[in-house]
Amino acid sequence: MPKPEIHVFVCAQQRPAGHPRGSCGEKGAASLMDQFSQKLIANNLMNKVSLVPTGCLGPCRAGANVLVYPGGTMYMDVKAEDIDQIIQTHFIGGEPWADKVAPDAIWQ
C-alpha cells in the first residue's frame, strides 16, 4: 500500500447506555466506518485514503465525529448521507465541506 495522502479517523467510542457524555458509537459510528469503506472503494480512493476507527475525539455531543488530516478538519454530526459529499468535496475536490465542519467553539 502506498503512503496515504489523507488520514480519516472515525470516532468509534462506545460508552455504556445512559453515560452523560454519550458516544459516537451510539450515533452509528460502526455503520459510518462500513459506509466510508464502501464509498472509498467505489471512488477508487483506497490507495489515497487511510480509514481508521479511533477512540474518543473529544466533542461527544457533536458526534458522530470524523477527523481528517492533513489539516485537522473535524466533521461533526456525520451521518451516512454525508459521506458522498465529504468524499467529493474534501477528498477529491481538496476543500473541506463547510456544512459539517465543527466550529472552534465546539472545543470549549
19 falls within a domain: yes
Comparing CA positions, the residue from 2, 84, 10, 90 lying closest to residue 48 is 2
Print the domain residue range for 73.
6-102
20 falls within a domain: yes
Q: Tell which phi-psi region holds residue 30, choosing left (phi > 0), alpha (psi between -120 and 50) or beta.
A: alpha
**Under DSSP, is residue 87 helix (H, G, I), strand (E, B) or coil?**
helix
CATH of the domain at 93: 3.40.30.10
- Return d(Cα 21, Cα 28) in angstroms, integer: 15
107 falls within a domain: no
- Return d(Cα 84, Cα 38) in angstroms, integer: 11
51 falls within a domain: yes
32 falls within a domain: yes
Q: Domain total for the chain?
A: 1
Full pLDDT tens readout for the chain, 108 residues: 789 999 999 988 878 787 777 777 777 777 899 999 999 999 999 999 999 998 888 887 777 899 999 999 999 999 999 999 999 999 999 999 999 999 988 776
pTM reported for the whole predicted model: 0.89
108 falls within a domain: no
